[in-house]
Chain A
Amino acid sequence: MPVEQRRAGSGTSSLTDLDRSTQVDAETDGPWCTVVWNDPVNLMSYVVFVLRRHFGYSRLVAEQLMMQVHEEGRATVSRGSRERMETDVQAMHSFGLQATLERVGEG
C-alpha cells in the first residue's frame, strides 16, 4: 500500500478491543480463511474502508488488519466455512484487493 500521512488520533485506542475480537473469531473458527495480500496500489484508507464495509469490523480492527497487510505482506481477515470464505474472497476481488482462500494453518 502506498504510505500516506496517518491522521492524528486514529489507532490510539486500547489494543484490548482487537484481542477480544480475534478471540471471538477464533472460537467460531472454520477450517478455511480469507487472506488479503499487500500490493502497491490500494490506498490504506481504502483497505480500511473495504474491511469495515464488507465485514462490519470496527475502525480499530480494520486499521490493525490493514497495518498487518502493509507491514507483514498478508493478513487473515476472516475464518469460516469454505462457502463463506469463497464469498469473502469474491467480495475482496470485487473491491480490487488481492485475496486468496486458504485452509487454516496453511500459510
Chain B
Amino acid sequence: MAHAFRRRADGSLACRLDSEEKAIISQVAQETADLIRADLGIDRDPEVLRKAAASEDPLRRLEAEFAGQDAREPADSAVKRLFPAASEDETLAGEFRRFGQQELADGKLTDLTAVISLLDASGPGHGEVVLDDEQALSMLRALNDVRIVLADRLDLQRDGDFDTVRMLQQIGERVEEASSEDSDQVGSDIVIAVYELLSWLQESLLRALD
C-alpha cells in the first residue's frame, strides 16, 4: 500500500510504494516513452545525435541537423495531447513544431527515464522512493504525461469525465457480478486504477512541495 509523499528533515521528498506499484508505474512510464518515440519517429539515442552534431565529418553533422529538424506531426491521439499545436495558425504551429518538438520530446523522455531509474534505485520490494527537488520536478512532469496518455485511452474529454467512467465501472461491476468478466473490461479497470494511483501520487507530491 502506497504512503503519500512527505518532506523529510534533510529536505528530500519521500514516499513509500510496494513492489507492485513501483512495477506498474515503471511499466506505464516505459510505455509512454516508447509511444512517444514510435509516434514521432525518434529511434535514435539523443547522445548519438549530439556526438554526430559535433562530428568533424560534415555529412554526419548534416545528418544530425536533419534528424533534429524532422519534426513529425503526431498521429496518435495521446501523443497529440502531449505535443499539441502551438497555434490555430497552421504555418505558425508547423514552424513551432520544427524548432521545438525535438527538444520537447527530449525533455519528456528524460523525465520518464529519470522516474524509471528512481524507482529502480529504490530496490525491489516495498520501499521508500526518495527525491531531491529537481527529481521531484521530473516526477511531477512524468506522472502528468503518463496521466495524459491514460486519460486519452479512457477517452476523457471534459471535466467530470473520469467520475462518469468510474461510475459506469461500478454499475458494470454490479451488472456483471457472477457472470464472467470480458477481457476489455478488465483492461479498462486496470487503466482506471493506475490513473487513480498516479493522480493521488502527483497530488501528494504537490502537497509535500507546497
Contacts and interface: CB of A to CB of B under 8 A. Distances in A.
Contact of A2 (B107, B159, B209): B159
A93 B104 contact: yes
Contact of B148 (A41, A70, A90, A101): A41
B125 interface: no
B11 interface: no
Nearest to A45: B206
Contacts of A96: 82, 141, 144-145, 148
Question: For this complex, into which size category does the number of interface residues on chain B fall?
Answer: 35 or more
Given A96-B82, A101-B86, A49 B144 contact: no
Interface string B122-159: 00000000000000000011001101100100001111
**Range class of the A interface residue count:** 20 to 34
Given A40-B158, A40-B160, A41-B147, A93 B86 contact: yes
Interface in A48-99: 49, 70, 86, 89-90, 93-96, 98-99
B159 A95 contact: no
Contact of B87 (A4, A39, A49, A102): A102
A18 to B, nearest CB: 20
Prevailing SS type, chain B contact patch = helix
Interface in B157-197: 157-162
Given A49-B140, A49-B209, A96-B141, A40 B199 contact: no
Contacts of A39: 81
Contacts of A98: 81, 84
Given A41-B144, A96-B148, A101 B87 contact: yes
A43 interface: yes
Contacts of B207: 45
B88 interface: yes
Contacts of A42: 144
B202 A46 contact: yes
Scoring B107, B159, B162, B199 by chain A CB atoms within 10 A of each residue's CB, the highest score goes to: B159
Contacts of B85: 100
Contact of A43 (B83, B92, B203): B203
Given A90-B104, A94-B108, A2 B86 contact: no
B39 to A, nearest CB: 15
A50 to B, nearest CB: 9
B144 A95 contact: yes
A3 interface: yes
A51 to B, nearest CB: 13
Interface of A: 1-4, 38-43, 45-46, 49, 70, 86, 89-90, 93-96, 98-102
Interface of B: 81-88, 92, 96, 100, 103-104, 107-108, 140-141, 144-145, 147-148, 151, 156-162, 199, 202-203, 206-207, 209
